[in-house]
């Protein structure tokens, strides 16, 4: 990053004018305050800050501010059953007081905040005004961010404008550690150090603050631990600016030095001032948007929703840290304790693979570092290879709770940690997708091949050869979590077969191209030719549930014998179907919680013979209750690829509504980041029809009727491409912006793409 870039030319307190780049909220509904805090959160993959109100010492607000540090997990607290993400120090708090004309000094009451999330700049802005009668007038404009250029850094800037003279105003900025479970080691005026009570992690924090008028510091504040208080006599037309810069450093063990590192990070940013911090941050966001933006014309609402999705995806990843991944709610809330699911590999990695390969690599290296835990879980359950944790935190250990409280308040045994085993194939799928898109040889040799081999080894031992001469996987849960302990789930079995075949392909590749590395890895893993033959036999004999007569995959053995319930009779319901029907009847029915066979169609369309894709989508779409935030996105992707554009756009709108619709169920637990990944997937992999091929990229565009153009950028094996699809002109245009010539296949026809624009006539 260029540290000479220290000036922004725009008003930093004003949002980008184009509404497609901004999200606005002027409401004051306290019941939805938690949802607003999640929706307007800022994050950079290391730090996440919810859009909480600045909390005063009287504690008048129901919801405390929340800042999260990625990877800071602990099992602290009397009710802690599993490792959970720990909130850290609340560093954005402030308080105003002023002299009345008569009476004691009292806190200034402010109007509800008007929020603007500037997605282009990665900044949250707010404005509010004094509403207390009889006190000096005060107006506030604020913004805060967590830097995308220096991920340890957070910045808050407040502009205070007064319109009356002669009043004494008191302004206090402070940080509060009381709502964090971290154990304090040190707390001074400008820094603090803590550790987790059980996991042995360290956190250091350094902070600097100042108050200025026309660029000149306003007096010397009264100081206390993490506290600055200024008092001054106001003059009409006064405009003061307060800034606060904070640096957080996490260490995953008890090594010393986190405070020194935090101070070093802070010193670098103090040297360029808050304007320099802002400028570097905005430049980093601009760089990411150049590669990641998706532009559509004809549908302004969907354009804004796409930008929101990409904003969340950019802010969720940190390519500099291989020891963390992206939880189900990113760093925007505490639902699921910050745990990582299959969501990351299936719904998020595609975006990073195609726009930000460094981030995809870090996410997959996280899975590599968790491999020993996956091996231990498989061994503990009596199998070989690697069975990844269904819910993962900062180790490879399973962190899924054993029990949960159901919608009817009954205690339910949670089997997903034991039976939802497709996670191992999901990780392998993401590894192969990354390899196919990047040909990152170092990753394949150092990590990817080992993941593929150990997951294939698991499936070979898990799929049991029975008397019918076929391999079966019994006692399983597929993506449809309404049905537990089922046999031969189609998604699981077909993904397992695919996993074993890709591992065999990888073994052959290593033997041919890197024989020395193959010899070393196969010896270390005790991987023999006999075992490779077992994988091949297991892949060839595993039951898939496909019926060649109907063209349908049976979701699991016996599924077609279950009660077939017409979901149209329950249209308009506001609760999931397992609540409507009860858990037991739902399990005895064909109603699925989310895309299962449809998810298989989305990931492995080549596993469906010609004509069967439409039949499977039609059958299972009618029986899906969409009880998961992941479901509509996968249906949107598949419908778009099948050319069912009206259905696809309806599912896409349902997906965007999850986090953006103000009338939707509360999202105070955090943004559904995987659903946001599904929004990008639907646009680029669905409507543009982008596919990864061995010889290049393929496109089969089918735009919605309202979209006149679709433009985006992608990466492929060291190349950068700009793609533009024009529905009116029936034309796809691709520009190779960097890298060697390649093949682009559009609607089945191959075209050589060099460093010039290549217009391609297409039909869609």
- Report, as residue numbers or ranges, the catalytic residues: 481
3 state SS for 46-61? CEEECCCCCCCCCCCC
Q: What is the DSSP letter of 425?
A: H
Residues 266, 207 contacting (CB under 8 angstroms): yes
| 3-class SS of residue 483 | coil
What token pair was written down for 75?
């099992």
CA dist., res. 763 & res. 747, Å (int): 8
Residue with tokens 């029990």: 403
CA dist., res. 455 & res. 457, Å (int): 5
Burial level of 264, CB count in 10 A (0-12/13-18/19+)? Answer: middle
Work out whether strand 731-738 and strand 758-761 pair parallel, antiparallel, or are unpaired.
Answer: antiparallel
CA dist., res. 386 & res. 447, Å (int): 13
CA dist., res. 495 & res. 388, Å (int): 15
- DSSP string of 473-499? --SB--S-TTS-SBSS-HHHHHHHHHH
| 3-class SS of residue 445 | helix
- Cα 141 to its chain centre, rounded Å, is 29
- Cα 390 to its chain centre, rounded Å, is 17
- Cα 577 to its chain centre, rounded Å, is 26
> Can you name the residues that pair with 85 across neighbouring β-strands?
73
Residues 192, 184 contacting (CB under 8 angstroms): yes
End-to-end CA distance of the chain: 43
All residues at 6 or more sequence positions from 306 whose CB lies less than 8 Å from its CB, including other chains: 294, 296, 679, 680, 683
What token pair was written down for 681?
């997937």
What token pair was written down for 163?
């319109």
All residues at 6 or more sequence positions from 750 whose CB lies less than 8 Å from its CB, including other chains: 695, 696, 743, 744
CA dist., res. 331 & res. 311, Å (int): 13
Of residues 588, 583, 590, 580, the one with CA closest to residue 619: 590
């Amino acid at each position: 990053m260029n540290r000479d870039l220290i000036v922004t030319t725009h008003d930093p307190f004003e949002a980008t004018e184009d509404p497609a780049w901004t999200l606005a909220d002027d409401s004051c509904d306290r019941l939805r305050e938690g949802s607003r805090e999640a929706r307007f959160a800022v994050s950079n993959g290391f730090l996440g800050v919810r859009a909480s109100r600045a909390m005063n010492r009287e504690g008048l607000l129901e919801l405390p501010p929340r800042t999260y540090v990625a990877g800071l997990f602990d099992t602290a607290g009397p009710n802690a059953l599993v490792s959970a993400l720990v909130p850290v120090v609340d560093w954005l708090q402030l308080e105003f007081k002023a002299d009345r004309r008569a009476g004691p000094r009292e806190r200034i009451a402010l109007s509800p905040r008007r929020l603007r999330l500037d997605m282009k700049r990665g900044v949250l802005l707010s404005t509010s005004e004094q509403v207390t009668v009889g006190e000096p007038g005060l107006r506030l404009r604020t913004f805060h961010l967590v830097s995308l250029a220096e991920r340890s850094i957070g910045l808050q800037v407040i502009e205070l404008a007064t319109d009356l003279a002669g009043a004494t105003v008191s302004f206090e900025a402070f940080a509060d550690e009381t709502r964090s479970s971290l154990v304090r080691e040190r707390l001074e005026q400008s820094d603090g150090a803590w550790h987790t009570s059980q996991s042995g992690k360290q956190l250091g924090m350094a902070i600097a603050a100042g108050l200025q008028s026309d660029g000149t510091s306003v007096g010397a504040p009264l100081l206390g631990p993490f506290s600055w208080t200024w008092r001054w006599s106001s003059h009409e037309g006064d405009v003061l600016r307060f800034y606060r810069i904070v640096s957080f450093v996490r260490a995953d063990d008890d090594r010393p030095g986190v405070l020194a590192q935090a101070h070093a990070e802070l010193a670098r940013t103090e040297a360029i001032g808050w304007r320099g911090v802002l400028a570097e941050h905005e430049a980093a966001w601009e760089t990411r948007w150049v590669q990641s933006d998706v532009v559509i014309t004809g549908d302004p609402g969907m354009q804004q929703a796409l930008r929101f999705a990409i904003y969340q995806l950019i802010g969720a990843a940190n390519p500099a840290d291989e020891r963390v991944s992206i939880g189900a709610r990113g760093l925007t809330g505490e639902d699921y304790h910050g745990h990582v699911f299959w969501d990351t590999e299936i719904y998020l990695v595609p975006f990073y693979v195609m726009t930000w390969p460094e981030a995809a690599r870090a996410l997959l290296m996280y899975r590599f570092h968790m491999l020993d835990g996956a091996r231990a879980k498989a061994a503990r359950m009596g199998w070989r290879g690697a069975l990844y944790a269904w819910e993962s935190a900062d180790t490879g250990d399973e962190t899924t709770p054993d029990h949960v409280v159901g919608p009817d308040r009954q205690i339910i045994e949670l089997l997903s940690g034991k039976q939802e085993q497709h996670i191992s194939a999901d990780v392998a799928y993401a590894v192969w997708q990354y390899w196919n898109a990047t040909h990152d040889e170092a990753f394949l040799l150092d990590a990817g091949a080992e993941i593929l081999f150990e997951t294939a080894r698991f499936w070979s031992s898990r799929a049991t050869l029975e008397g019918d001469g076929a391999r079966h996987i019994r006692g399983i849960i597929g993506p449809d979590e309404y049905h537990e302990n089922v046999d031969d789930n189609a998604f699981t079995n077909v993904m397992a077969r695919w996993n074993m075949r890709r591992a065999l392909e990888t073994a052959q590749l290593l033997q041919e191209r890197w024989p020395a590395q193959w010899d070393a890895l196969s010896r270390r893993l005790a991987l023999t030719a006999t075992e490779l033959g077992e994988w091949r036999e297991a892949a060839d004999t595993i039951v898939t549930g496909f019926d060649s007569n109907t063209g349908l995959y049976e979701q699991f053995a016996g599924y077609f014998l279950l009660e077939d319930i017409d979901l149209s009779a329950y249209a308009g319901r506001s609760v999931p179907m397992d609540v409507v029907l009860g858990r037991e009847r739902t399990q005895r029915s064909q109603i699925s919680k989310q895309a299962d066979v449809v998810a298989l169609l989305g990931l492995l369309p080549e596993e469906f013979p010609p004509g069967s894709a439409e039949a499977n989508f039609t059958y299972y779409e009618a029986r899906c209750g969409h009880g998961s935030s992941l479901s509509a996105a996968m249906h949107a992707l598949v419908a778009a690829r099948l050319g069912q554009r009206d259905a696809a756009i309806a599912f896409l709108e349902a997906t965007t509504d999850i986090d953006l619709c103000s009338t939707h169920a509360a999202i105070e637990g955090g943004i559904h980041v995987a659903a946001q990944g599904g929004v990008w997937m639907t646009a680029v992999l669905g409507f543009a029809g982008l596919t990864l091929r061995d010889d290049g990229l393929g496109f089969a565009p089918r735009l919605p009727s309202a979209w006149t153009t679709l433009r985006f950028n992608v990466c492929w094996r060291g190349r950068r491409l700009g793609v533009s699809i024009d529905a009116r002109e029936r034309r796809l245009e691709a520009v190779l912006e960097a890298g060697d010539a390649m093949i682009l296949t559009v609607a089945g026809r191959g075209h050589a793409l060099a460093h010039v624009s290549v217009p391609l006539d297409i039909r869609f």
